[in-house]
Amino acid sequence: MNIYITSKAFLTMKYFIEESEGEITGLGKVKLVMRESEEKVDDIYSFYRTPTPKPSLLIYDIEILPQEATGGSATLDEEALAKFLYQRIKQKKNVEDYKVWWHSHGFIQTFFSGTDTDTIDNSTEFPYLISIVGNKTGNFLTRLDIYKPLRLTIEDIELKVEPDNSKPIREECKKEIKQKVRVRKIEWPEEKDLLGFKKPYYPPEYNDPFYYEENPLFPKKYPHR
């Protein structure tokens, strides 16, 4: 199964992640489309074959809702989510296409944590769900979970970006983040060394080499391993 995303939707998600102060999460719309197969068949009959369209999934819209975010998490407000869906239904807009859930990992490498997996496993109200995790260095990881008629997970799917001549949307994303994302600061405890001088505090995960890849964009105020 191929998963495509329009250029506008991809850039919207990318700019939301890059411009947010902490982590961020949101929803997306997807629909079933027909695309010609990209599989190359190299045999003596390939010249005579007619390309056969195959079903694919196309992500065509990315949105954020009111939420609370920190440097290590982002949580959708359940009341805001219910209000969001109610307003869409009231406006007679299609809500069945909201089968995309995406979130960011800051500068941490992209992977699906235990919390992410629990969220996906509990989303059985959907026939299927596309989950995307991205980071500020431009890495994205995509998986497809099918719930009906069989439970199936397809991991490490390539997200194919469709060409598009969309107008610049970074400023629109920054404006929307300011309106909808409330960043909660984390107060780190003070520590002192043997001489009584204040020591910088780093959360435990920042010292774990599993979380980070070598990257010159990683903030210098945290240990770079």
Which domains, from first to last, does the chain contain? 3-183 (3.40.140.10)
pTM comes to 0.73
Q: What's the rounded mean pLDDT across residues 143-171? A: 87
Q: How far does CA 147 lie from the centroid of its chain?
A: 20
d(CA 212, CA 209): 6
Maximum separation of any 2 CA atoms in the chain, in Å: 81
Q: Are 99 and 130 in contact (CB under 8 A)?
A: yes
Structure tokens at 124: 């059985």
Task: Look up tokens 């496993």; give the residue.
Answer: 121
First to last CA, the chain: 37
Q: What's the rounded mean pLDDT across residues 149-170? A: 85
| Residue 222 CB partners (closer than 8 Å, separation 6+) | 202, 206
Q: Are 11 and 163 in contact (CB under 8 A)?
A: no
Give the chain's mean pLDDT. Answer: 81
Q: What kind and span of H or E run contains 176?
A: helix 170-180
Q: How far does CA 88 lie from the centroid of its chain?
A: 22
pLDDT at 212 exceeding the cut of 90 = no
Q: Are 57 and 2 in contact (CB under 8 A)?
A: yes
Check residues 179 and 165 and name the one with the higher pLDDT: 179
Q: What's the rounded mean pLDDT across residues 159-180? A: 85
Of 53, 51, 13, residue with least CA distance to 30: 13
Cα torsion 28, 34, 37, 38 to 10°: value is: -40
d(CA 108, CA 96): 32
For 185-207, the pLDDT digits (tens) are 766 666 666 666 666 655 555 55
d(CA 225, CA 222): 9
